Structure 1
């Protein structure tokens, strides 16, 4: 998975944000974010949106450079921080019912805090391989 972190500058244009959040449950996150490798069959939060037309140059170049990228989508950070993580989901891979919070794992929420602290407003996700 490749992720691009962006925020708006003073003129309203998107600019890249350097940060490196660590998610410990990427495979579950893939399905929830973009319905990719979704063996748990949980998600996605919203249907895939593709590459935003106003994506930063770095994101656009990476997308052009890697011809095997798929499942491209993006989220405003507020969509991720505002989701209902108390929702009960059934993980078909593990065959158990649990909260979305438990499914994604606590480090996911630490990563969201890290993104907020870095000033990230939008995340573009793409998958390879």
Structure 2
């Protein structure tokens, strides 16, 4: 690379981990305060997102206290046999390759999905 005409400088790439639990604070959102206090916290809302995948075991996708999904919404869950969808995460599918897993290996899909529909948590 250094021998290419016009090359000036390059930084070594480093991979940083996402910190999704800090997004609500960054956005100024607090549980039971302001807009969140007067909202229904997304009750009955189904969000569909096309992104890099999702990490189904992340605490932000816990289905504790979540009712079953609407009968008219038939989510397709294409995780492997040990990972299953739940009442919070009702579907996941890979659009890249046939039989590919929709598990997020870069973190972007997990970050954007948890920002839009993640559970409230103090962990992670």
Q: Normalising to structure 1: TM-score of the pair?
A: 0.27
TM-score when scaled to structure 2?
0.28
Bigger share in strand: 1
Q: Which has the larger radius of gyration?
A: 2
Q: Which has the higher helix share?
A: 1
